[in-house]
Amino acid sequence: MSDFWQSGWVKFPFDSTLADWVKHALPAARATTSDPAHAEWLDCEGTWFIGVDALDNDEQGRVGQSGDLSGAAMDFIRQHYGDLPLHKGQVSVIYPGYPRPRRGESEAAGRYRLNRDAAHVDGLRPTGPDRRRRVDEPHAWILGIPLTEVSDNASPMVLWEGSHRILGPAFAKALQEAPKETMHEVDITDIYQAARREVFEMCPRIELPAKPGEAYLLHRHCLHGVAPWPDSASAGPDGRMIAYFRPEFTDGVAAWIESP
């Protein structure tokens, strides 16, 4: 797994422990998509259920009658990042026809979603009329756990291999003068956009399909997104459903910059 630090991602093969967790998580995840409390998460004209914090798991990842979220992927994460408490997982579902226009999305943003897979770094949410970005969610890592069987071309995760080695130093440069306690207030929009353009020029785009029982881990600075759904893709009624865990560093943005 040493390639993770170079490439910014690693895919874990089928793990029976994780597959058992998926059996318990799938019914709970499926229920979130029709829960009125989560109706706001259905967007892109019904082709994307965003599902942030929708999965009802505890800090060890237990959901329903499952055991702790465990297996090879979690062993790797704990070895390198320690044992962070888990938030309620994201239930991200893509349905046939994605991407349609998102509510409030500009025409330019819609084109970026279609042509660039809505490529982004997690935790840099745009705010205000000018959509300026700051590090408001210093995630430690991103773990994707597929919950449904779909064809490989059914809107898989997309990433730009090695992008963390361009974006990480750019973020560090943008924040180098800021005291640790105010790093989250620094506008990093311009340097982020410049580094992202460099990534598109320099880094290969990788599609990362996976099946239930498999998992993939992304470095927190890795540029990633979701591929469009082609007419030839296939899935069951649950669509392409993936549970994502992205716990935040307890030491905030400073750790987001300084940790490996």
Decide: 72 and 35 in contact? Cβ < 8 Å: no
* Contacts of 181 by beta carbon, 8 Å cutoff, 6+ apart: none
Residue 50 has pLDDT above 60, yes or no: yes
Decide: 41 and 51 in contact? Cβ < 8 Å: yes
pTM: 0.96
Residues 100-135: tens digit of each pLDDT: 999 988 999 999 999 999 999 999 988 888 889 999
Amino acid type, 18: L
H or E element: which one contains 49? Answer: strand 48-49
Decide: 217 and 77 in contact? Cβ < 8 Å: yes
CA–CA separation, 114 and 101 (whole Å): 10
Other CB atoms within 10 Å distance of the CB of residue 125: 12
Mind listing the domains of the chain with CATH numbers? 3-159+208-249 (2.60.120)
Distance, CA of 217 to chain centre: 9
Residues 12-41: tens digit of each pLDDT: 999 999 999 999 999 999 999 999 999 999
